[in-house]
Structure 1
Amino acid sequence: MSIWWSLHLRREAASVPLARRLLLDAMRTEGVDPDISFDLSVALTEACANAVEHGGNERSAGEAPGAYRVTAYLDGERCRIEVADSGPGFPARRVVRRAPTTAESGRGLRMIEQLVDHVHFRNRPGHGAVVSFDRVLNGARTPC
């Protein structure tokens, strides 16, 4: 079975557990290993927390101001998640993947990299940042 869902959420801390619970429930329904479910839910939490903190109040096409979007696909073998906000995007002068562990920000993005198989950070010019990541659900991990 395949499951696909998309949420448009307000940039409020209370929205983060909602997205996490929906993902965990979908993976439980699909019989995903609890350890893999936990890793993906932590990665989703970090991506959502970034959207809430840095997402901005601009309006993206089809979204309310100050909102962000979470989309997840579970196809039985792989889970793919995308979190998109309407903020200023990732700073061009800083490479997101190289934030040191002692940095004031960026640690959550490093954590996402450690929990998933593939991750991509990108800007949508004039429309915010997007964090997308995926992981194989059968336990076999491929490196980022």
Structure 2
Amino acid sequence: MELGIALSIPMEKASVTLTRNVVDVALRRCGVSPDARQDIGLALTEACTNAVRHSDTKREYQVDAALRHNRCVVEVTDHGAGFVMPDALPSVPLDAEGGRGLMLMYALTDLVEIHRHRGDGMTVHFEKNLDGALTG
């Protein structure tokens, strides 16, 4: 089964949970296993939280999620200044209050790419292989 979702989300903290729930319901309806949905949901939460926290604009951010060819592909795009990309994945203590988002995205998904748009935001792209995680 193939699926595509495109959302324009208000730049508000409460929108992160709503976005995660919308994507989770769609993936569940497509037969994605609970474990894979949990990984995707947590990675999505971290990407959306970064958009809300690090954007210096009140413009909406976009979430595009697709399920195709046994892969879930997600992009979160904002229009703010974004955050400074580290040269290497930072080592952050597990009990730290912040700074673990990128580390979690890399741990929970199969591919993470961060694209800075010249003068207008950034896109966090991640993919999760669903081989063995589809029931339908």
Q: Match of 2:7, SS?
A: strand
Flag structure 2 segments of 5+ consecutive residues without an equivalent. none
Greater RCO structure (CA 8 Å; 6+ sep): 2
User: Hey, what does 1:74 align to over in structure 2?
Assistant: 67
User: Hey, what does 1:38 align to over in structure 2?
Assistant: 38
1:119 to 112, 116, 123: 112
Q: Are residues 1:107 and 2:96 paired?
A: no
In 2 relative to 1, CA 16–75 (structure 1 residues): closer, same or farther, beyond 3 Å?
same
Q: CA deviation at 1:129?
A: 1.5
Q: Match of 1:18, SS?
A: helix
Deviation >6 Å, runs of 4+ = none
1:1-144 maps to which residues of 2 (within 5 A)? 1-57=1-57, 65-75=58-68, 77-91=70-84, 94-95=86-87, 97-102=88-93, 105-139=98-132
Give the Cα separation in 2 of the matches to 1:81 and 1:14.
19
TM-score by length of 1: 0.83
**1:55–1:68: 8 Å Cα contact kept in structure 2?**
no
One-letter amino acid of the structure 1 residue matched with residue 128 of structure 2:
R
Identity %: 40
Flag structure 1 segments of 5+ consecutive residues without an equivalent. 58-64
Deviation sequence 1:24-68 (CA, Å, 0-9, x none): 1111111111100100000000000110101221xxxxxxx4311
User: Hey, what does 1:60 align to over in structure 2?
Assistant: none
In 2 relative to 1, CA 104–121 (structure 1 residues): closer, same or farther, beyond 3 Å?
farther
Q: CA deviation at 1:105?
A: 4.7
Q: Match of 1:98, SS?
A: coil
- What is the RMSD of the two structures over their aligned residues, measured on CA atoms? 1.8
How many positions carry a matched residue from both structures?
A: 131
